[in-house]
Chain A
Amino acid sequence: MSDQDALQGVVSSFTMQRTPLYDRHEALDARIVDFAGWAMPIQYPSGINHEHLAVRQDVGIFDVSHMGQLRVRGPDAVAFLRWSTLNDAGRLRLGRGQYSMLPNDQGGLVDDLYLYRDGDDDFLVVANAGNVEVVDRHLRSLAEGFDVELDDESEQWGLVAVQGPGAALLLERLAGTDLAAVRKNQTVDVAIGGCAVRLARTGYTGEDGFEAFVAPADAGAVWDLITEAGAIPCGLGARDTLRLEAGFPLYGHELGPDTNPLATPFAWVVKDKPFYGREAMWGVDPGQRLVGLRLAGRGIARQGYEVVDERGAPLGEVTSGTLSPLTREAIAMAWVRTSHAEPGSELAVLIRGQAVAATVAVPPFYGS
């Protein structure tokens, strides 16, 4: 092993920010890594595969308190978000959530987001941990002329994701509430152990589940109750394999400042309306598409690995890859030339110089 590899994950946690659940992770003997400046658990001692399967088969809990929350409020909140984001905030109903993206003026993205509508003129925007400041700055730069107020509420929220087929039942028992009527992307206010919790039926795993917004001071108590009720603590490693198996994008991998979302499976997010940066994005074809890949061998196609055709000519680049803990199949997402982007197209990934055969596939990479 190279020393550099061994050093990964043995990072000093002194200078990193800590979530309200940091002491829980330490007590569970999690491996802590620096993720976007936050000391986060990448895995607990039972390992990524175990955690991954717990979510697919039962229920797991993730600390995602490192994500950022920005409040957008004011008479022009809808108009402002319709202009600054790609999905249509005007179509978002009260008490619902919406996946969206923040375009730059170069045809690419500043971040991907979740929007929640808490009032007619009141939205909570959830951004990726590493992008909160950039998103905040970007939104402020676009806010001129709109009657809106922006507040960074990141420090006011603890956030845990409870995910898996057993998530609803577990939370129903703890909250003493029937959650059957709560639809996907809908929010509901409940109490767990006397703590106020806002549950949103959302997630990043491909399973049913909820994200629970809590006051930072209550995060530990809520985490304890949910884990005591049987949810398996899961780290960022399993979060990544789960989202990849489900075919969800991760900013910095599938999405970035140069990626046109219209060339991805997430083009549905982009609604045909005026928005910031539209000229550089709308109708502009990058000549490549973001696709899923199934590999014939078991080597892992990692970010940056080259994708080639049968003669070795370059087609594009891998954005993420892993071995599916569920199917034991090597899977990946990649940008490839449009000529090779149809499902079933045969191509290859260069793994340490060796061409490993791969087929274009439509995620999710599991299930029927």
Chain B
Amino acid sequence: MHTPDTLRYARSHEWVSAPEDGIVTVGISDFAQDQLGDVVFVELPDVGRKVAAGDALAVVESVKTASDIYAPLAGEVVEVNASLEEAPEAINEAPYEGGWLFKLRVDDTAAWDELLDATAYEAVAETD
């Protein structure tokens, strides 16, 4: 399992990049994509949608199952990775790069520090 230590993680297996000008990028972890198997379809949120932490706002479907993706932090959707509509396999191939899902302008950048760091997340993933 690959878990970059520059990122923070949610228990529900999303990764979150460090805020830059109040904006974070969100995707699913390497562990999560491995568990899901081949991703075949992604349903992305509308840009401009305001979300609370924990809101379901995207769906990643693999051959096996459909999984809700939750907002790890409160904020507003400012951009989505539209290329996933044509190439959802990017989530399997590069979960931390080309497979990112959406960007949020977060209400409170300090909340990022309260998410799990790489070590804590790996411990969570191992017990899942």
In angstroms, Cα B31 to Cα A10, docked, is 12
In the complex, the answer to whether B59 meets A352 with C-beta atoms within 8 Å is yes
Interface residue stretch chosen among A42-50, A246-254, A283-291, A335-343: A42-50
Q: Closest CB of chain B to A99's CB: distance in Å?
A: 26
In the complex, the answer to whether A300 meets B66 with C-beta atoms within 8 Å is yes
Segment 286-336 of A: residues with Cβ below 8 Å from B: 298-300, 302, 322-323, 325, 330
B128 within 8 A of A: yes
In the complex, the answer to whether A49 meets B41 with C-beta atoms within 8 Å is no
Interface residue stretch chosen among A1-9, A13-21, A140-148: A1-9
In the complex, the answer to whether B41 meets A322 with C-beta atoms within 8 Å is no
In angstroms, Cα B65 to Cα A197, docked, is 37
In the complex, the answer to whether B12 meets A299 with C-beta atoms within 8 Å is no
A256 within 8 A of B: no
B119 within 8 A of A: no
Known: A1-B68, A300-B41. A7 touches B63 (CB 8 A): no
Q: Closest CB of chain B to A10's CB: distance in Å?
A: 6
In the complex, the answer to whether A299 meets B37 with C-beta atoms within 8 Å is no
In the complex, the answer to whether B14 meets A42 with C-beta atoms within 8 Å is no
In the complex, the answer to whether B37 meets A3 with C-beta atoms within 8 Å is no
| B35 partner residues in chain A, CB cutoff 8 A | 5-6, 8-10
The number of chain A residues touching the other chain, given as a range, is 20 to 34
1/0 contact trace for B61-80 toward A, CB 8 Å?
10111111110000000000
In angstroms, Cα B37 to Cα A48, docked, is 8
| B60 partner residues in chain A, CB cutoff 8 A | 1
In the complex, the answer to whether A241 meets B41 with C-beta atoms within 8 Å is no
1/0 contact trace for B17-60 toward A, CB 8 Å?
00000000000100110011110110100000000000000011
A165 within 8 A of B: no
In the complex, the answer to whether A1 meets B63 with C-beta atoms within 8 Å is no
In the complex, the answer to whether B11 meets A48 with C-beta atoms within 8 Å is no
A230 within 8 A of B: no
Known: A2-B68, A352-B59. A300 touches B32 (CB 8 A): no
Q: Closest CB of chain A to B59's CB: distance in Å?
A: 7
Return the chain B residue nearest A302 by Cβ.
B66
In the complex, the answer to whether A10 meets B59 with C-beta atoms within 8 Å is no
| B38 partner residues in chain A, CB cutoff 8 A | 47-49, 325
Known: A8-B64, A299-B61. A3 touches B40 (CB 8 A): no
Measuring CB to CB, which residues of chain B are less than 8 angstroms from any residue of chain A? 11-14, 28, 31-32, 35-38, 40-41, 43, 59-61, 63-70, 92, 125, 128
